[in-house]
Every structure is written in C-alpha cells, then in structure tokens.
C-alpha cells in the first residue's frame, strides 16, 4: 500500500517529456551522422476540427524540435474514404516515411477502423493497429499507444515500483484504458478496469494504490474515489467555463483559473477533481502539464523506433 500523504505531490510531465525529446534528438542526429538517414513522420488530418488542428500542430512542432522530418497532410472535410485510403497506401509505399499518423476523430462517414487497419503495422507509430494491439496483449509489444507508454515513463522516472501494486484503470478505450491495463499487468501490478457500467465506482477505485483515469468527464473522480496516499494519473482533458464549476473544481486556485476563462473562454481540467484529489492523493498529475506532453514525446520515440527497425539500425 502507498504511504499516506496529506497533500499530493505533483507528477510533472513536462520534465520527463523534455528528457525523452532530448534523448530522441541525440539519437536522430547520431542516425544522420552514422547512416545519412533522418526519420520521417507523416501526419494526416481530415476536416477542420479545432482540437485536431492543435494536436497536429504540436506533433509537427515536436518533430522539428527533435530533428524528425515531418509531413502534414491537411485534407478537406469532403475527402472520401477512397481518397484517404489512397493517401495512406501511398505513404505505406514510401521508403522515406517511417511513421504514419491519422489524427482522430475522423469526420462522420469515414470508417476509423478501416483507415487504421490500412496503415502498415511497421509504420503504426500511434500503436492503434490490430497487429500492434495483439502483440501488446501477448506481451510482445512493438508499438504501444503513446499516452499509456508515456505514463509508464513518468512512473519510472519517479521511481515508482509497480510490482504488486493494486492498480485501477477507469476507462476501457483502445487508445488509453486497455493498453494501459496491459502495460501495468506486464509490470506485475494487479489490475482492475472500470467503465461506465461499473457498479459503485468509488468502492472499487478506493482500493487502488495507483489510479489511472481516462473517461472524458470533467472532475468526475473526487475525494471519495481515492485511497489516501494513492498515485493518481489524470489523462482527461476537458474544457470548463462556468464560474461555479471552476470554483468547485479548483478551490483555492479558482481565481487564477477564472482569469484564464476570462481570456480564453474556458480553462482545462482533467477527469479528476484537482482540489479534492490534492487533499487525499499522495501523487497527482496536473492538467495541463501532466500526461499530454508525454503523449507527444512518446510519438517521437515511436517514430525513431520505427526508423531503426525498418532500416535495421538497431
């Protein structure tokens, strides 16, 4: 059991993300010097979803920072399934493209599963392809989804021993929840997965030494859900704007958050109530500044790995 702590210690993702990117940058330059090859990442976005545009911009920027060559394909909302699949197939065939990322969600009418399955598994740097998922389930992962992989990096950086811990993952998506559970199992944690049909969610989550929350509901996890001293990883990223909700979620920090709302029209909060969790958790990831930065960093690491494997540089 995790030692009880009165005030949660923040698990800062920015420091870990910066370290990962520095390591990737050094390896990329070594690859260029030794082999004359620079890894390439192709990012495809369809439509004008504002959040997707921000995510893609961050990924392209990170690629530039670490020395990975990036290509950004911004396709119109009217793009047909055949046109999108043709682009994916052309990227599959190119020897200078090591990673292919199709930003989700796709516009209505486009089959996300069909698009993901069309990506060459050797270039599946998002880790969403059924081949990647199957290898992860078998304990032989090649490419792991970036968010859960980043969480493992964060826990390792802080020296958190997972063996024997009671871990609870709230959320069962293919992007976070399920692969997160697989990674924790591979580290010998005892894992419970909760979801929208779980009876008495708080009774289950309170048993966890490590609680990972990825459900997409602002501030759902409160004090009653958390074992005293537990490690809480908040994957959520939600927008809130109502003053009453901001005050309920941020407590003493509400005034600063309200200033952000006044400037932007919203502030960000995770799936965990930060004010309530800080009173009982031992460690807690902030939002923003926690898991999100790690996701992008691990995408860079996966792209470098793809280049190494494809070019037999390992």
Indicate which residues carry an active-site annotation.
59, 103, 126
Q: What is the DSSP string of 86-134?
A: HHHHHHHH-TT--EEEE-SSPPTTS-HHHHHHHS-GGG-TT--SHHHHH
Cα–Cα distance, 209 to 231 (Å, whole number): 6
d(CA 252, CA 248): 10
DSSP 159-227: T---TT-EEEEE---TTTHHHHHHHHHHTT-EEEEE-TT-SSHHHHHTT-SEEEE-S--TT-B-GGGS-
């Amino acid at each position: 059991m995790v030692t009880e702590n009165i005030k949660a210690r923040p698990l800062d993702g920015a420091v870990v993300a910066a370290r990962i990117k520095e390591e990737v940058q050094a390896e990329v330059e070594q690859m260029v010097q030794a082999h004359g090859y620079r890894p390439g990442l192709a990012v495809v976005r369809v439509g004008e979803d504002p959040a997707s545009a921000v995510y893609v911009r961050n990924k392209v920027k990170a690629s530039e920072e670490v020395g990975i060559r990036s290509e950004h394909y911004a396709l119109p909302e009217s793009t047909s399934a055949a046109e999108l699949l043709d682009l994916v197939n052309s990227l599959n065939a190119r020897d200078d493209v090591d990673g292919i990322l199709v930003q989700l969600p796709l516009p209505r009418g486009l089959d996300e599963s069909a698009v993901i399955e069309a990506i060459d598994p050797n270039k599946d740097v998002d880790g969403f392809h059924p081949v990647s998922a199957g290898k992860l389930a078998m304990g032989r992962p090649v490419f792991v989804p970036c968010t859960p992989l980043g969480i493992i990096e964060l826990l390792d950086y802080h020296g958190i021993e997972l063996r024997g811990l009671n871990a609870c993952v709230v959320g069962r998506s293919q992007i976070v929840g399920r692969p997160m559970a697989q990674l924790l199992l591979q580290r010998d944690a005892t894992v419970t997965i909760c979801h929208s049909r779980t009876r008495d969610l708080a009774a289950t989550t309170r048993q966890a030494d490590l609680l990972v929350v990825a459900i997409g509901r602002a501030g759902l996890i409160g004090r009653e859900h958390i074992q005293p001293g537990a490690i809480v990883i908040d994957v959520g990223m939600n927008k809130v704007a109502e003053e009453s909700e901001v005050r309920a979620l941020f407590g003493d920090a509400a005034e600063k958050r309200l200033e952000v709302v006044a400037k932007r029209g919203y502030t960000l909060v995770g799936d965990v109530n930060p004010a309530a969790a800080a009173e009982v958790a031992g460690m807690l990831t902030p939002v923003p500044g926690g898991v999100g930065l790690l996701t992008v960093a691990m995408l860079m690491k996966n792209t470098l790995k793809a280049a190494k494997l494809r070019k037999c540089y390992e």
